[in-house]
Amino acid sequence: MNRNQFIKLSGLTGIAFIAIPQLAFSLKNDSLSYEELIGKGNPELVGEVFKLRKEAYEAFISMKNEAEKSNIQLKMVSSYRDFKHQNTIWERKYKRYESQGFNTDTIIKKIIEYSTIPGTSRHHWGTDIDLVDANAKQPANLLSPIHFEDGACFSPFKKWMDANANDFGFYLVYTDGINRKGFKYEPWHYSYKPLSFKFLSDYRQLNLAEILKKELVMGSEHFSEGFVTNYLNDNVLDINPELLSN
């Protein structure tokens, strides 16, 4: 199924979600609760500073060990984020842009270039991680796409991940596809597909408009029906096609 076909299937009635097929490999049948899907539950996580669901964490450790053979030291800089954490990021950016004199529509547009609305983040699921190479020189603005370009400090990391990450179940989420919309290119953000595919399916059963209204996110009174529809199609669903099909 190509991206355009997928988005056509996502036509909304009351901005509700539809189900997607099950993956053929290593997927769990357990559904997540509403609270866990929006980052307000109490998921079972493992890890020290950065935590993931057990299966995803173990796959990461296996990938990390393999990368070390090529002198790549995989380093998590973000993993599970609950609703409160994501809301802190959202409100900090909202207030900063507000203090700079931007109007509300512009503020929201600027935030969702890279940051998700609280309650809609894939990091709520304990399956997604932001990674860099600890063996490389760490630039001041760590998560910038320019550092992953050919010849830049994280270029060896990116080449290794491009060649090997899928073998461990990890897929880049926000690619540099020329026709992709929504969040900008993030060469550091990977998702553990054997779990996140099912969680996305669960998430799509929810009503996004109701979530955003119920959770009282700063600025949510400006989330029109058209905005929510576009955010669903462009930001939630217009991701790496590999994460949308088996």
Task: Please write the tens of the pLDDT for every residue from 69-92.
Answer: 999 999 999 999 999 999 999 999
pLDDT band (50, 70, 90) for residue 173: very high
Name which residue leads in pLDDT, 171 or 24. Answer: 171
pLDDT at 101 over 90: yes
Q: What is the pLDDT of residue 246?
A: 80
pLDDT at 118 over 90: yes
Percent of the chain's residues with pLDDT above 90: 81
**For 191-218, what is the mean pLDDT?**
93
Domains of the chain, by residue range, sit at 34-243
Residue 229 has a pLDDT of 94
Q: What percentage of the chain has pLDDT greater than the value 70?
A: 88
User: Could you report the per-residue pLDDT of 16-43, keeping only the tens digit for each?
Assistant: 433 333 333 344 456 899 999 999 999 9
What string of H, E and C letters represents the secondary structure of the chain?
Answer: CCHHHHHHHCCCCCCECCCCCCCCCCCCCCCCCHHHHCCCCCCCEECCCCCEEHHHHHHHHHHHHHHHCCCCCEEEEECCCCHHHHHHHHHHHHHHHHHCCCCHHHHHHHHCCCCCCCCCCHHHHCCEEEEEECCCCCCCCCCCHHHHCCCCCCHHHHHHHHHHHHHHCEEECCCCCCCCCCCCCCCCEEEEHHHHHHHHHHHCCCEHHHHHHHCCCCCHHHCCHHHHHHHHHHHHCCCCHHHCCC
| Average pLDDT value for residue range 217-244 | 94
The dotted CATH code for 34-243 is 3.30.1380.10
